[in-house]
Amino acid sequence: MSTSSPPPLSGDSAALVIRALLDFRSLWTTHDLVSTTGVEASEVRAVIAQLDQESLADRQAPGVVSVPSWLPLLRRWNQDFRFNRQTSLTYWRSRNRSQDLLDRIPATEVRHAVTGALAAQRWAPETPAGPPVIYTPDVHLAATEWDLIPSRKRTIVIAETPTGLVYTRTRKTETGLRLAAPSQVLADLLTGAAKTRSAAEPLIRWMLEHELDWRY
């Protein structure tokens, strides 16, 4: 007897709902999720129904749900959202030092969100080092504004993606540099933004131990 895999939680609408469930510690109504994500109520209900079927969301009352554990939900999302499949990656090097690049980025108007090991080290300093991985919607504009040169090596990785999800609830450093939200950084580390999946372990530990610091 053949068994079919669970239906995919793919697409921008599902991702917006899942990111909200990950990023907030809350009891959710359909109305709340619609207001937070901008996703239509019918799509929200479909996502919640699927998560409930997979025991990733609990129905607390009619129309009210919560997430019993955020990590299984994130790992389930990773089955459909994968950094190395849903982004266009190009490799660059800076004309100056990498630190100069990180200082230069906030001084420009280019939309960005740093992910990968560099972002994870903000919360989990023991994360193994890796090249800067930076989301931006226009790689050519970013390369011009940030004074980058094409490279065959992964010195600097620019991730271009059509979705605005990766810029949702970014964190701003003291210098104005924007980091992707911890949930997005972890999802990326687990699906291609680091050399090995084990690079995500320090961030997983930090997120489990400091949930009040990153979930609203």
Q: What's the rounded Cα separation, in Å, for the pair 116 and 194?
A: 6
Q: In this predicted model, what pLDDT tens digit does every residue of 37-84 receive, in sequence order?
A: 999 999 999 999 999 999 999 999 888 999 999 999 999 999 988 897
Q: Say what the pLDDT of residue 2 is.
A: 46
* Residue 3 or residue 52, greater confidence: 52
- Asked if 170 and 67 sit in the same domain, the reply is no
- Asked if 73 and 165 sit in the same domain, the reply is no
Q: What's the rounded Cα separation, in Å, for the pair 3 and 86?
A: 27
- Asked if 196 and 155 sit in the same domain, the reply is yes
- Asked if 133 and 32 sit in the same domain, the reply is no
Q: Say what the pLDDT of residue 163 is.
A: 86
Q: What is the mean pLDDT of residues 150-173?
A: 94
Asked if 154 and 91 touch (Cβ cutoff 8 Å), the reply is yes
Our count of domains for the chain comes to 2
pLDDT range class, residue 1, cuts 50, 70, 90: very low
